[in-house]
Amino acid sequence: MARAQSPRRRLIATLAAWGVALTIFFPVLWMVLTSFKTEASAVAMPPELLSADWTLENYAEVWQRSDYPRFFWNSVVISIGSTLLGLAIAIPAAWSMAFVPGKRTKDLLMWMLSTKMMPAVAVLIPLYLVFQRIGLFDTKLGLILALMLMNLPIIIWMLYTYFKEIPAEILEAARMDGASLWSEIVYVLTPMALPGIASTMLLNIILAWNEAFWTITLTTTKAAPLSAFIASFSAPQGLFYAKLSAASAMAILPILILGWFSQKQLVRGLTFGAVK
Amino acid sequence: MKISHRALLGATVSLTLAGAALAETTITVATVNNGDMVRMQGLMDDFYAKHPDIKVEWVTLEENVLRQNVTTDIATGGGQYDVITIGTYEVPIWGKQGWLTSLNDLPADYDVDDLLPAIRGGLTVDGNLFASPFYGESSMVMYRKDLMEAAGLTMPDAPTWADIEKAAAAMTNRDAEINGICLRGKAGWGENMAFLTAMSNSFGARWFDENWNAQFDQPEWKATLDFYLNLMNQYGPPGASNNGFNENLTLFQQGKCGMWIDATVAASFVTGKDSTVADQVGFALAPDNGLGKRGNWLWAWSLAIPSSSDAQDAAKTFINWATNKDYLALVASKEGWANVPPGTRTSLYSNPEYANIPFAKMTIDSINAADPNAPTVKPVPYVGVQFVAIPEFQGLGTTVGEIFSAALAGQKTSDEALAEAQAAVTEEMKAAGYIQ
Amino acid sequence: MSTQSTRLAARLMVAPSVFVLFIWMIVPLAMTLYFSFRFYRLLTPERSGWVGFNHYLWFLNSPDFWLAIFNTLALVGGVLVITVILGVLIALLIDQPVKGQGMLRILVISPFFVMPPVAASIWENLFMHPQNGLFSAITRGFGMQPILFLEDYPLWSVIGIVSWEWLPFATLIFLTALQSLSSEQLEAAEMDGASPFNRFRYIILPHLTRAITVVILIQTIFLLGIFGEIFTTTQGGPGSASTTLPYMIFKQAIVAKDIGRAAAGGIIAVILANIVAYFLMRGIGRHLDN
C-alpha cells in the first residue's frame, strides 16, 4: 500500500503511529522498569522514574529463590512439543480439507472449534482424574498432549485457510509427474505453505507458553512451567510489586524476544483466509 | 546438583557401613510463598547435612493456588505430595476425614508439650496431632505513635472499639492522605471475612446457633457490620473494598494509615526495612466491647503428611526438622531472632533474647487471647475463631464476603447485606444437610 | 481431482485429528454431564447420590445467574467491539509508510506475549490501584480524586484489561489482510476524488470483512471462558458486579469444591456458547464462504 504522500502527512502518520504503539507497549515497559526498582520505590507516590532507587536485587533474589532454568526448560519443551505434535496431526488434516473438501468440511471445522467451548474450570476435576489415572499427571508428555489438543482446532483452521490459497493445479502437476501423496505434501505443499506453517507454529508456541490454568493445575514439580514459577511469586506477604515484576519479566522475556524476531513471519502467515 | 551429589555420597557411605542397599528417598513438599517458608528453603543445607538420604523437591505457590492444588490432590487420593502446608481451617476437617497421618509418634526431641496450647488445640482432632505448626499468628492493632501523640491521644494496651473509633477520627487527615484506619475489604473467606468474623466475636455475634441456624439476622451482626461500615466510610482509605492484607500493608508502610488491625506477622514488615514509618509503630491487643471476647483471630500455617504419601518416615523426619526448637535456633543463628517463625512454641517466648523483639509480647498475648473452641460469647457448634471449621465454609465465607464487600463499596445497605447473607447461608446449610 | 483413492486418503488424513479431538471432547463432556446430576463435593466424599436437576436449578435460581450471563456477554461483546475497532484503526495506521515499521509492529503486538495472569496483575497493581497505581498518580496530578476502577467500574476495568491482551491478535490479522489490498485500486479511487472516508468505507472495509469475521469468531471462543483476569483483579465483585458465568463456575469448583454444581454450570456454559455460536454463524458466517 505504499503510496505517494506529502512529507507533512507522513510525519503526522509517523508520530501518530509511534504514539499509539508506545501507549500499547507502555504497561510492559513500566513492568520492566518496576522490576529494577526497590520495593519501596516501586510503590512510591508520585511514581519515581529519575529519582528511583535502581537495583538488580529483585532479579538476584528471584533467581536464587527458585529453579528458573527448570521452569524455563519445561516451558520450552511443552510449548514446542505441543506445537510440533499438533502440526504433525494438523497438516494432513488441513491438506485433506483444503484439497478434497467434502460437503461437511465446514461443519467439521466448526465442530473442531466448538471443542474449545467447555470452560476449563468446569472440566477441572474430570480431566484431573483422567490424568491421574493414566499417569500423565505432572509429566511433560501430559501437558504436551493437553495443550496440543487445546490448540489443535486453531492450528487446523489456520493451516486450512492458508492451504486453500495454494492453487490446486500445482499439486496436480506434481501428481502428473508421478509424485506420491506423501511426497506431494512434503516436497510441494509444505515449501509453498511454509509462511503459513511458520506463523501457525509461532502462534501456537505463544498460546502454549501463555497457558496458565492447566499448566498449574496438572503439575507439581517435574513438569511445572513458567506459569507455576509466576504463581510462586504472586501475592505473598509483604511488598512484592518489584519482585513480581522481575519474575514476570523473566517469564515473558523469552517469548517476547522470540516474538520480536519472528514478527515478520507472524504477520505474513496469519491470514485465516483473509487474502483473496 | 550439589545437593544430589552430597546425598549420593551419603547414600554410598551408609551402603558401605550397613552393607545393605539404602535408597535415597525424595519427598515433595508443598508450601505457601510466605517469607518464613522461603527462608526455610534457604536453610536446607542443614537438613541435608543431617539427613543425606532424603532429597526434598519444593512446590512453592501463592496461597490460593496452593490450597486448590493440595485440596484436589488429597481429596482424590492423588498422592503427589509428601508434606503439605495447610492452616488451622483445614486440619480439623481433613483430620476427621482420615486424609492426614497422625504425628503423635514424632521423636521425643520434638517436645510436643512445648507447643502453644491454643495452637496445638487447633491442630488436634480426637487426641491426634495432625499437623505441626510452622508459624502461628493472631491479629492485633498496629498504630502510629507519632500521629496518636499529635492528636493528644494514647492507645491503651487493650483498647475497646470505642477507643479505636475515637483514635481513627482524630488521626484522619484527608488532605495529607492519612486514613485513620485501614481494614480488609477484599471479598473472600480468608480476606474480609477472616477480619469480620473475628471482629463479630467481640460484638457477641456468631455464624450459627447450636442447631446450625444462620445468625446474620441477629442484632449482634447488625452492630458489627454497621460499626465496620461506618468506621471505614468515615476514616478508611478510598477503594477499600479491594484491599486485602497486601494492599493495607503497603498503605501502612507508606504512612497512609493511622491504624491497621491485621495479622501479627505484619509487625515485622511494618517495622522492617521497606517501611517509611518503622520507628513509629505501636502495638495493642485487638479491640473488644467489654463482652469478654476480643476481635483477634488465630491461625497457624502447619506442616502435615497426607495419608496417601508413600514416604511417611522421610516426611516425618522433615517435619521434625522444620518445626523443632532446633530450627528456631538455626534461624536465629543465621538470620537473627526477629526472623524466627513466631507463634508456635512456649520456649521461644520465655527466651530472654526473643523478648527484646518489640512485638513479641503482643503477639503471644494475642495468640493466648484466642480460643478456637469457644470463639465467641454465646455457645457455638463449631471450632474456629475467624472461620467455621466445616467443609462448606470456604464457599459460605466467600459468598458472604462478597455481599459485605459490596456493602463497603456502597452498593448495598447493611440491612440488605445482612438479609442477603442470612438467606444465602440458610439455603446452603439446607443443601448441605445441616438443617431441614 | 477427487478420485476414489484420494477421497479415501483424505479421509484417512483427517481421521487422526477428528479422533483425538473427539476423545478430548467426549470424555470430559460425559464425565461433566454425569457429575452434574450427582452430589459430589470434594471435601465431603462420604455423601453422594443422584440429585436430579438440582444443580441446574441452583444456577437458574441463583440471584447472580442472569447478571452473570449478562456480564459474560457484555465482556465478550465489549472486548470484541474495542479490539475490532481499535484493531482496524491501528492496523491502518501502522500500515502507512511510516518510519520504523518493524519496530512499530513489535511494540504493538507485545501485549500478546504477556501471560494473562501477569497482564492482569500489571494492570491491577501498577496502574489501577487507587493509591499506588499510575492512573491515580495522574488524576492526583490534576488535583482530582483517584478513580476507583475496580470498585466503581469493575466490569469495564476487566474489559479494558482483556482488550489490551487481545488487541495485538486483532491488529495482526487486520494488518496481514491490509497488506494484500492492491494499492492500484486505492490509488485509482483517490484519483477519482474519493474521500478518505469513502475509500475506507467502500474499498478497505469490504476487504477486511473476512478478517473481522475471523477475529470475532476466534476471540469469542476464547473470551467466553475467561475467568483468570477476573479472579486476579476484582474477584467478581464488588458483590457480583463483575461475576461472569465461568467465574461463577470457578467459585463452585475451586472455592466451594462443589464439583456437581460446577459440572452443571459447565453444561450451561456449553449451551450458552452454542447459542452464541448459532447467532454468530447466522450473522457473520456467510463471510467465511468462498
Q: Provide the sign of the torsion angle of the four alpha carbons C130, C134, C140, C142, taken in this order.
A: negative
Q: Do A234 and B62 touch (CB under 8 A)?
A: yes
Residue B11 in this model has a pLDDT that exceeds 60: no
Confidence of residue A239 (pLDDT cuts 50, 70, 90): low
CB contact under 8 A, C6 and A181: yes
Reported as half-sphere exposure (CB side, CA atoms, 13 A), residue C146 has a value of: 24
User: Chain A interface, mutation test: which of B2, B33, B339, most A Cβ atoms within 10 Å?
Assistant: B33
Cβ <8 Å between B62 and A132: no
pLDDT surpassing 50 at residue B3:
no
Superfamily of segment(s) A68-269: MetI-like (1.10.3720.10)
* pLDDT tens track for B179-213: 999 999 999 999 999 999 999 999 999 999 999 99
List the domains of chain C with CATH numbers: 53-288 (1.10.3720.10)
For the stretch A4-51, pLDDT in tens is: 567 888 888 889 999 999 999 999 999 999 999 988 888 887 788 777
Q: Is the Cβ–Cβ distance between C252 and B423 less than 8 Å?
A: no
Quote the radius of gyration of chain B (alpha carbons, Å). Answer: 23
DSSP secondary structure string for all residues of C168-229:
HHHHHHHHHHHHTS-HHHHHHHHHTT--HHHHIIIIIHHHHHHHHHHHHHHHHHHHTT--HH
* Beta carbons of B71 and C43 less than 8 Å apart: yes
Mutate to test the interface with C, among A30, A75, A118, A258 (most CBs of C within 10 A): A118
Choosing among C35, C115, C290, which should be mutated to test the A contact, i.e. which has the most A CBs within 10 A?
Answer: C115
For B138-297+373-431, give the CATH class: alpha beta
Check CB contact under 8 Å for B398 and C255.
yes
pLDDT confidence band for A121 (50 / 70 / 90): confident
Residue of B nearest to C145 (CA): B238
d(CA A1, CA C47): 67
pLDDT per residue over B366-414, tens digit each? 999 898 889 999 999 999 999 999 999 999 999 999 999 999 999 999 9
**Cβ atoms of residues A241 and A39 within 8 Å:** yes
Domain ranges (residues) in chain B: 2-130+299-355, 138-297+373-431
Measured between beta carbons, the chain C residues lying within 8 angstroms of B306 are none
pLDDT at A273: 59
User: Residue A177 above 80 pLDDT?
Assistant: no
Cβ–Cβ gap B406/C241 under 8 Å: yes
Higher pLDDT, C176 or C90: C90
Interchain pair B57, A221: CB under 8 A: yes
**Residues contacting A206, CB < 8 A, separation 6+:** A255, A259, C112, C113
- For cell 518503622, the residue is B278
Which one of C47, C146, C238 has the shortest CB-CB distance to B411?
C238
**Residue B427 DSSP code:** H
Residue B283 pLDDT > 90, yes or no?
Answer: yes
Query: Are the Cβ atoms of A230 and C118 closer than 8 angstroms?
Result: yes
Selected residue of A48, A103, A123 to mutate for chain C interface (largest C Cβ count, 10 A): A123
Retrieve residue B68's grid coordinates: 486448590
Question: Using CB atoms, which chains have 3+ pairs under 8 A with C?
Answer: A, B
C125 interfacial to chain A (CB closer than 8 Å): yes
User: B33 and A39: CB-CB below 8 Å?
Assistant: no
Cell digits for C227?
475467568
| pLDDT category of residue A2 using cuts at 50, 70 and 90 | very low
Q: Per CATH, which fold does B2-130+299-355 belong to?
A: D-Maltodextrin-Binding Protein; domain 2 (3.40.190)
The predicted-structure confidence for C213-248, as pLDDT tens digits, reads as follows 889 988 998 999 898 899 888 888 788 899 999 999
Give whichever of A74-78, A91-95, B373-377, C171-175 has the largest mean pLDDT: A74-78
Neighbours of chain A (3+ CB pairs under 8 A): B, C
What pLDDT sits at residue B10?
A: 44
Task: Map out the domains of chain A as residue ranges.
Answer: 68-269
Cell 508506545 maps to which residue?
A: A22
Alpha helix (H) ranges present in B351-392? 352-355, 360-368
Angstroms from A253 CA to nearest CA on chain B: 21
The answer to whether residue B84 scores a pLDDT higher than 80 is yes
Nearest CA in chain C to B72: C42
